[in-house]
A and B are shown apart, each in its own frame.
Chain A
Amino acid sequence: MVALTPETDPTPDAVAGGPRQRRKLTGYWLILPTAVWLGLFFVVPFYSLLATSLFDPDGSVLTGYDVTYHFANFGHALSEYWQPMVRSLWYAALATAFCLVLGYVLAYAIAFRAGRWKNLMLVLVVAPFFTSFLIRTLSWKLILGDNGWVVDALQTVHILGSDNRLLATPIAVVAGLTYNFLPFMVLPLYASLEKIDGRLIEAASDLYASPSRAFFKVTWPLSLPGVVGGTLLTFIPATGDFINASLLGSPNQRMVGNVIQDLFTTTGDYARAGALSVILMLIILVLVLFYIRKAGTEELL
């Protein structure tokens, strides 16, 4: 969310009118576009989502829908779809963890070791965005396909049995999520690693810290803002993602995003779909707040 606070004056001042007064108003004028934008595209849809989640579950396209404050929608949605919900959180957590490991190594290499290749490597990180998300996930379907070279190779070295497959397994879905959200991890990590003064690492080694100690005592803590930013940017969209599960998985890997999509488009059960969306949002909100608290980023950011 955008947190734009108008410039507040530390000294409460009785002088009315004049330039001071005008300066105060400028702050409000500046947030006006953002406020209008947020009102149109956040508050209104959010209100309509909340309303939908409280629809009468017996309504239909023909009979129309009424907001009946039917809170039981939440209970029903949860009891029926808790499995995809938990699965979503789990897959997203796994993908975030993999992204963090891969992304950290990559961002570290770009920030400290790439030399004059730095810019090229950054462009390469962003390059996948030039093709559509959908196309990229479809190509993963080809790569991990039953007759693809990955499965063939794994079968040859007997990591996969001859009738085992990658597609339609949790592995494929988590791999897809990891791949698709990796740039969201790399960029914030790079931004905060890049800012670290190399002389601090030198100071650490001058003060008896071996390279690994210097990393955990200096580099890692100083990169925490990037870690927090990256994990949030990865975890939140990954939890709600439905493309990876529908293209790379099977009904057994259904995530909550797939369920919501089905309920809205196929079943037409708006009430339950809305309730599920609100629940997902609340869970993420609570997790994120808890996480930020824990990581103590107020001080770091």
Chain B
Amino acid sequence: MSSVADAPAGGRDLCLTGLRKEYPNGFVAVQSLDLEIPRGSFFALLGPSGCGKTTTLRMVAGLETVTAGSITIGDQDITHEKPYRRPVNTVFQNYALFPHLSISENVAFGMRRRGVKDVKGPVADILELTELTEQANKRPAQLSGGQQQRVALARALINRPEVLLLDEPLGALDLKLRRAMQLELKRIQTEVGLTFVHVTHDQEEAMTMADTIAVMNAGVIEQLGSPTELYENPATTFVANFLGQSNLIGGSVVGVEGGADGQVKVDMEGTVVSIPVERAHTANTVGTKGWVGVRPEKVLIAPAGEPIDAPGNHMTGAVIVDSSFIGVSTQYVVRMPWGREMLAFEQNTGARGVLAPGTKVDVSWRPEFAFLLDSSQDIDAGLGEA
């Protein structure tokens, strides 16, 4: 248990290099993962069901053998370390509480195995933190789902591991408790300063809690970055569709103006729109095909002929085909002159009433909000999976 004892208090970075998992039946659940998770960060692994999130966590915990690649914490290679020697604890997707032990004994399990004599104080503290003091002497079977989940959390947290792996720890909670626990988790993480690797398929959860999100799909990381980065500048169609909604329109590059911070000019169904170079995830040579993307809330519309407060990409001849008023905003479906539909969300500022279907409108968006994606990617990737 040396690795547990000598771990420096502040923790170290967790590094996954070329990590791959092929199950004995030949199925490759994780392709080749490269991740660097700085110590003390709240890292979220986000992806649809079956994309390999649990498999990745299990490899880090040592519960699944690694087919290729390595896992290191600081400069310590733990790729082949026994699970009970790793400075890592897991909150399991299915809790895995010990049915024959009381709640307090469940929570004390890790400390006892490490030979800590006086467990009473820490156990009482952590039960207090997770609001389980009253349940201390009950058995897991006597608790509600949410309470069991908190026991699983307490049981792992009490050990103050360098890395805490959370496998959809809030999955079984109702919305209200879920929101409360999200805040609580985030607070605990900031307080204790541990590295949290949080697995979820709930994009909202990932965005509210994490410093960094890795979007995973079919065993590969699609994109890595802060929640705003991922949302504002998605690099693949999967991320564009899985994280929020996007309008994607086919086009081809007609030229580049300026240098590194210049604009890529794209001919989109007859209209030339510009996209900042750092938001164009394509080759940018003339003739390259791509998907022009823009988030629905960035799309502005106005009745035909009225001015729109957005310099740049401007299109006329669109018709509203559907409008739904949902209180804070109105969601419009707009048919563009070339036949495809676009989404536009308009804040309900009260400046204008809801435009009725059939109204002819002009459409516009600021160039700095558009992004350009590789046309070889499936335009529908990630749809309906969130």
Interface residues of A (CB under 8 A from B): 197, 199-200, 202-210, 213-214, 217-218, 221-222, 300
Give the distance in Å from the alpha carbon of A204 to the alpha carbon of B109 in the complex: 8
Minimum Cβ distance to chain A for residue B379 (Å): 40
Minimum Cβ distance to chain B for residue A192 (Å): 12
Type the 1/0 row for B91-110, where 1 means its CB is closer than 8 Å to any CB of A: 01010111110000000011
Give the distance in Å from the alpha carbon of A209 to the alpha carbon of B101 in the complex: 15
Q: Which residues of chain A are near B90, meaning CB under 8 Å?
A: 203, 206
Pair B92/A205 contact, Cβ less than 8 Å? no
Which residue from chain A places its CB closest to the CB of B139 in the assembled complex? A299
Pair B92/A199 contact, Cβ less than 8 Å? yes
Pair B94/A199 contact, Cβ less than 8 Å? yes
Pair B113/A199 contact, Cβ less than 8 Å? no
Minimum Cβ distance to chain B for residue A227 (Å): 13
Pair B96/A209 contact, Cβ less than 8 Å? no
Pair B109/A207 contact, Cβ less than 8 Å? yes
Dominant secondary structure of chain A at its interface with chain B = helix
Pair A208/B63 contact, Cβ less than 8 Å? no
The answer to whether residues A208 and B110 also contact, given A202-B83, A203-B92 and a CB cut-off of 8 A, is yes
Minimum Cβ distance to chain A for residue B115 (Å): 9
Pair B155/A222 contact, Cβ less than 8 Å? no
Q: Which residues of chain B are near A217, meaning CB under 8 Å?
A: 109, 113
Pair A207/B155 contact, Cβ less than 8 Å? yes
Give the distance in Å from the alpha carbon of A217 to the alpha carbon of B156 in the complex: 17
Q: Interface extent on B, as a size class?
A: 20 to 34
Give the distance in Å from the alpha carbon of A217 to the alpha carbon of B112 in the complex: 11
Pair B92/A207 contact, Cβ less than 8 Å? no
Q: Which residues of chain A are near B114, meaning CB under 8 Å?
A: 208
Pair A199/B96 contact, Cβ less than 8 Å? yes
The answer to whether residues A206 and B63 also contact, given A199-B96, A221-B100, A222-B100 and a CB cut-off of 8 A, is yes
Pair B84/A208 contact, Cβ less than 8 Å? yes
Q: Which residues of chain A are near B88, meaning CB under 8 Å?
A: 206
Give the distance in Å from the alpha carbon of A204 to the alpha carbon of B88 in the complex: 13
Partner of B84 from the list A197, A209, A218 (CB cut-off 8 Å) is A209
Pair A218/B98 contact, Cβ less than 8 Å? yes
Give the distance in Å from the alpha carbon of A221 to the alpha carbon of B156 in the complex: 22
Minimum Cβ distance to chain A for residue B157 (Å): 12
The answer to whether residues A203 and B98 also contact, given A208-B84, A209-B84, A210-B84 and a CB cut-off of 8 A, is yes
B1 CB–A CB distance under 8 Å: yes
Pair A206/B98 contact, Cβ less than 8 Å? no
Give the distance in Å from the alpha carbon of A214 to the alpha carbon of B109 in the complex: 10
Pair B84/A202 contact, Cβ less than 8 Å? no
Q: 20 A-B contacts, Cβ less than 8 Å apart?
A: A199-B94, A199-B96, A200-B98, A200-B99, A202-B92, A204-B98, A205-B82, A205-B83, A206-B84, A206-B88, A206-B89, A206-B90, A207-B84, A207-B89, A207-B109, A208-B1, A208-B110, A208-B113, A221-B100, A222-B99
Give the distance in Å from the alpha carbon of A258 to the alpha carbon of B276 in the complex: 99
The answer to whether residues A209 and B113 also contact, given A199-B94, A202-B83 and a CB cut-off of 8 A, is yes
The answer to whether residues A208 and B155 also contact, given A199-B94, A203-B92, A222-B100 and a CB cut-off of 8 A, is no
CB interface residues, B 357-371, toward A, < 8 Å: none
Minimum Cβ distance to chain A for residue B57 (Å): 11
Which of B1, B90, B113, B156 has the most chain A CB atoms inside 10 A of its CB?
A: B113
Pair B113/A206 contact, Cβ less than 8 Å? no
